[in-house]
A = this chain, B = another copy of it.
Amino acid sequence: MNYSDNYNPSLSDTKIFNEIVKEKEHIGYYNLVTQDTTPLKKYAKTIKQKHIVVIGIGGSTLGTYAIYKFLKHSKKLEKKLHFLETTDPIDIEARLEAIDLKNTLFIVISKSGTTIETLSIFKYINSLVSIDKSNTVVVTECDSKLNTYAEIHQIQRFEIPKDVGGRFSVFSAVGLLPLAIVGMDIDEILLGAKKVHDSFFSKEILYATLLKKARFFVEYKNKFNINVLFSYSSRLEGFNKWYIQLWGESLGKIDINNTHQGLTPIGIVGPIDQHSFLQLVIQGKRDKTLTVVKVRDFEKPLKIAPITLEGLEELDYLNNLEFSTLINTQADATIEAINKEKDIPCDVITIDSVSESAISGLMYEYMLLTSLCAKFMYINAYDQPGVESGKIILKNKFK
């Protein structure tokens, strides 16, 4: 991974770092990188079904989808991963049409065990196909009601540790189980994350980089209240969505002084959104930071054909260009255009390849950055009390 930015470093931040080291003792995600993956891999090997359907929502699906979307085409997987996450009846029906229910393993994921969307869909699935231990596995907390259900039916269970929050759970069974089953190398996933973990906690390069970035975001949060992630690959669309949850739900909080805090995440994709959002970044109000994510090596030698289109000869300079060169040069041109403005804070992250370790390292880096920002903002990154009132209102509407 490669890193460049135009932020101005200021003070040193050992206090915040020490708080993170202390937090690491009771916040579980930090330490998932060293877990034993044997039980997951062993179970994954037993799965014969071709369709793997994750029933879950939010933190139970977004991280898995991010990694799957980034890698699935390059890995040529034999199994297909699907996600049933919404209560939109048209969407449920459309997704089910692509699935052979008789040849499907259902992975029901809910940390609390009573997520309304997940359980509604699971009930509906129960009316379409007979559910038992041969086609269902559950990922939940050890003492949830979903765990009780699975126990009664002798359905295999994997645990979400109590100290790992949903949006920080991609490197627990939540993400690793479905990804192992479809054929991803989950040890490589953990290795990529561990490299970032080690670099940060041993105070190597990422330590300074992330502390500087978090400090900048928080110091200027009232001017730049929007953080745009501009990913130059359509395959990073899932990563963008995962980032939006991580950032929004972790940092949108009431602080210890009872004031509303938050940094607003936006995820866009290059070059598509050069034709959609870039105009606003370049000429719009100066309320945004920009982080560009590039992929150094797409490992796809697709080339623009050396063809002259009559009337369009002016485009012949594109002939024989590899698309990977084109997209990365488009990213560089955008970065140059941004930096020419001189007043748009911008940093660039380049990941090396389309691989398990590249995407997991990027995700772990973002989890660390989120934790750091939360510390600077005097907020708890790991709860989400704001969504409870809506849940209570909903329940009362059905009573």
Contacts and interface: CB of A to CB of B under 8 A. Distances in A.
Interface of A: 57-59, 62, 73-74, 85-94, 113-114, 116-117, 119-120, 122-124, 126-127, 145-149, 151-153, 166, 225-226, 232-235, 241, 244-245, 248-249, 251-254, 260-262, 264, 266, 269, 271-272, 274-288, 298, 300-305, 307, 309-312, 314-315, 317-319, 321-324, 326-327, 329-330, 332-334, 336-337, 340, 354, 384-387, 389-391, 393-395, 397-399
Given A235-B91, A274-B390, A398-B318, A310 B262 contact: no
B271 A254 contact: no
A279 B89 contact: no
Given A234-B86, A235-B90, A277 B245 contact: yes
Nearest to A303: B124
A249 B276 contact: yes
Contacts of A59: 275
A93 B322 CA distance: 13
Contact of A149 (B226, B300, B310, B340): B310
A166 B274 CA distance: 13
Main secondary structure of the interface of A (DSSP, over half): helix
A88 B327 contact: yes
A89 B327 contact: yes
Given A92-B302, A225-B285, A276-B249, A309 B86 contact: no
B264 A314 contact: no
Contacts of A336: 390, 393
A286 B254 CA distance: 11
A88 B323 contact: yes
A321 B151 CA distance: 27
Contacts of A399: 317
A283 B314 contact: no
A87 B245 contact: no
A394 B271 CA distance: 12
A87 B326 contact: yes
B285 A126 contact: no
A359 to B, nearest CB: 13
A276 B267 CA distance: 13
Given A148-B311, A386-B279, A87 B262 contact: no
A217 to B, nearest CB: 13
A262 B283 contact: yes
A59 B397 CA distance: 41
Contact of A249 (B58, B280, B300, B389): B280
7 contacts: A89-B300, A146-B311, A245-B276, A252-B283, A262-B284, A262-B287, A279-B384
A283 B315 contact: no
B245 A89 contact: no
Nearest to A56: B275
Contact of A333 (B127, B226, B232, B390): B390
Nearest to A285: B262
Given A285-B262, A317-B398, A305 B123 contact: yes
Given A334-B390, A387-B274, A248 B280 contact: yes
A280 B276 CA distance: 24
Given A91-B235, A123-B305, A397-B332, A58 B276 contact: yes
Contact of A272 (B57, B235, B248, B311): B57
Nearest to A253: B283
Contact of A340 (B309, B317, B389): B389
